[in-house]
Amino acid sequence: MKKVFIDTLGCQMNKSDTERMLGILSHFDYEETREEEDANLLIINTCSIRQLSEDKAFSQIGTWGRWKKKGKDIKIGFCGCVAQQKANEVFKRAPYVDFVLGTHNLYKLPEIIKRVESGEKVCECAETNIANVDEKDEFGIVRVKSTNAWIPITEGCNNFCTYCIVPYTRGRERSHSPEIIIAEAKRALADGFKEITLLGQNVDSYGKDFKDRNYRLSNLLRDLNALDGNFRIRFVTSYPTDITDELIDTVVELDKVCEYFHIPMQSGNSEVLKKMNRRYDRETYAKIVAHVRDRVPDVTITSDFIAGFPSETEEQFEDTLSAIDEFELDYSNVAAYSPREKTVAARWVDKYIPDDVKEERFQRLNNKVKENCLKSNKKYLNRTMEVLIESFYEHKGEMINTGKTRNNKTVHIACDKNMVGQFVNVKIASVKTWYLKGELV
């Protein structure tokens, strides 16, 4: 067996592609190693959501380049979203790279490896938008061992938010067929996974592109919920205005589908939202969140926000802070705006916010998220909740099991017994900013 090391820098979709690459390579005599030094094949799976992520991709592979220069017999692959964007340019910046593989052509990996092993340099970054998006599934997946299996249900995005590079790196939105998804879920459950998380830039638009059938996210949730076994189902990410009443009702009705929605708002100000090309304003977002809260008991709602979008004023930024309070958002990912090549907002150079102002807003946003996360956690003090245990480790002489509640809160439980993979009932004894502390009941 030859050994492959993959360094994964991006989002869950990127991690999922890594699992697919490992699946494909396992059919061609490659097994995974976590030791870079042992690998015959080194792959970096890159992310380009912000300039910093892109820079990291190039700085990270410098070491591999130096090993090669010194005569080490290795092959180096550059994959993922930066590869899709930069294609042949990668060879100019990093001449020691053997192949560049974009996000659309993963299934070509076997052929690429063959060509690379015979000494060729290969670049496969054409945007295929293949009608049959399931083509890349034929080799299966080698999943990271954990309790949760990620299953992509849509690829790409049609929304073209003015700050975002994803439609350029991932192409137009395509849905995987329900048959493929259900088969993958069955396989994961048979392998012992206890949770299925359906993945997409915009999961609630799943199935819109099916021409010959009317089958949407709620249908998929129903079919998955009907599978045998004790397991949980989640889905991320939701686009606010694509959350239908039917979807909310389905979440309430189905026992395995968890009370958790990730609904990025991006800004709390309607003018900024318009400039971002988001298809809702503050009031519409408020209504959607209120509706979800009203219908789904104990639901956790998380979000994403950007600080310092071009032309954002101090008042507009304060609307974002107040949105987190007003909509009681349980947790949010936050980022300082980073101009991205090809995107519309990147052209508004004269409207860019100075770095120091952006950084200061980013810090205030972070503090607001922290404050609200603690407030949200306090709601659960003294409550008894079901936790799926995900890890077991020693911390300061104490053995700790950590896991998640149905509504995606992290819980730490001091207990000598390794309970990974089990569902346990826990009483919440105290709360911290980022987690709850529980006791077995």
Query: Where along the sequence are the contacts to ligand F3S (CB under 6 A)?
Result: 10-11, 13-14, 47-49, 80-81, 165-166, 169-170
Contact call for residue 197 and ligand SAH (CB under 6 A): no
Phi, psi of 395, deg, nearest 5? -140, 120
Distance between CA 323 and CA 373 in Å, rounded? 14
CB of 47 to ligand F3S, least distance (A): 3
Q: Look up tokens 């879920």; give the residue.
A: 185
Residue 266 contacts ligand SAH per CB under 6 A: yes
Task: Look at residue 402 and give the partner it binds from ligand SAH, ligand SF4, ligand F3S, none, a contact being a CB closer than 5 to 8 Å depending on partner kind.
Answer: none
Residue numbers 158-187 binding ligand SF4 by CB under 6 A: 159-161, 164, 166-167
Residue 84 engages ligand SAH in binding (rule: CB under 6 A): no
The DSSP line for 171-219 is -S-EE--HHHHHHHHHHHHHTT--EEEEE-TTGGGTTTT-SS----HHH
Q: Which does 50 bind (CB under 5 to 8 A by kind): ligand F3S, ligand SAH, ligand SF4, none?
A: ligand SAH
Strand-pair partners of 99:
77, 122
Contacts of 220 (CB under 8 A, 6+ apart): 153, 178, 181, 198, 206, 207
Is residue 116 a contact partner of residue 93, using CB atoms and an 8 Å limit? Answer: no
How far from 200 is each of 153, 236, 265, 311, CA to CA, in Å?
Answer: 6, 6, 16, 30
Residue from 16, 33, 147, 201 in contact with ligand SF4 (CB under 6 A): 201
Site residues (CB under 6 A) for ligand SAH, limited to 276-335: 304, 306, 335
Q: How far is the CB of 166 from ligand SAH (least distance, A)?
A: 6
- Angstrom distance (rounded) from CA 38 to CA 104: 29
Binding flag, residue 265, ligand SAH (CB under 6 A): no
Q: Which is nearer to ligand SAH, 171 or 264 (CB)?
A: 264
Q: Which is nearer to ligand SF4, 164 or 189 (CB)?
A: 164
Q: Fill in the amino acid letter for 291.
A: H
Which of 265, 244, 382 lies closest to 328, judged by CA?
Answer: 265
Burial label for 191, CB within 10 Å (0-12, 13-18, 19+), is: exposed
State which residue has the least CB distance to ligand F3S. Answer: 10
Q: From residue 219 to residue 258, what is the string marking binding to ligand SF4 with x (rule CB under 6 A)?
A: --------------------x-------------------
Burial 390-405 (b: 16+ CB within 10 A, else e): bebeeeeeeebbbbbb
Stretch 386-405 residues interacting with ligand SF4 (CB under 6 A): none
Closer Cβ to ligand F3S, 47 or 289, answer by number: 47
Paired strand residues for 334: 305
Answer yes or no: are the C-beta atoms of 388 and 400 closer than 8 Å: no
Instruction: Restricting to residues 327-346, name those near ligand SAH by CB under 6 A.
Output: 335, 337-338, 340
Considering the complex, state which of residue 280 and residue 392 has its C-beta at the smaller distance from ligand SAH: 280
Least distance (Å) between residue 131 CB and ligand SF4? 21
- The residue among 10 and 438 lying less far from ligand F3S, judged by its C-beta, is 10
For ligand SAH, the closer CB: 105 or 302: 302
Q: Which of 197, 202, 267, 338 binds ligand SF4 (CB under 6 A)?
A: 202
Q: With CB cut-offs between 5 and 8 Å by kind, which of ligand SAH, ligand F3S, ligand SF4, none does residue 10 bind?
A: ligand F3S
> How far, in whole angstroms, is CA 340 from its chain's centroid?
19
Could you tell me the two tokens for 46? 């890159």
Q: Choose among ligand SAH, ligand SF4, ligand F3S, none what residue 81 binds, the Cβ cut-off being 5 to 8 Å by kind.
A: ligand F3S
CA 23/CA 31 separation, integer angstroms: 9
Task: With contacts defined by CB under 6 A, name the span among 40-48, 160-168, 220-228, 403-411 that binds ligand SAH.
Answer: 160-168
Q: Chain centroid to CA 170: how far?
A: 13
Residues of this chain that bind ligand SF4 (CB under 6 A): 157, 159-161, 164, 166-167, 201-202, 239
Residues of this chain that bind ligand SAH (CB under 6 A): 49-50, 163-164, 166, 201-202, 237, 239, 264, 266, 304, 306, 335, 337-338, 340
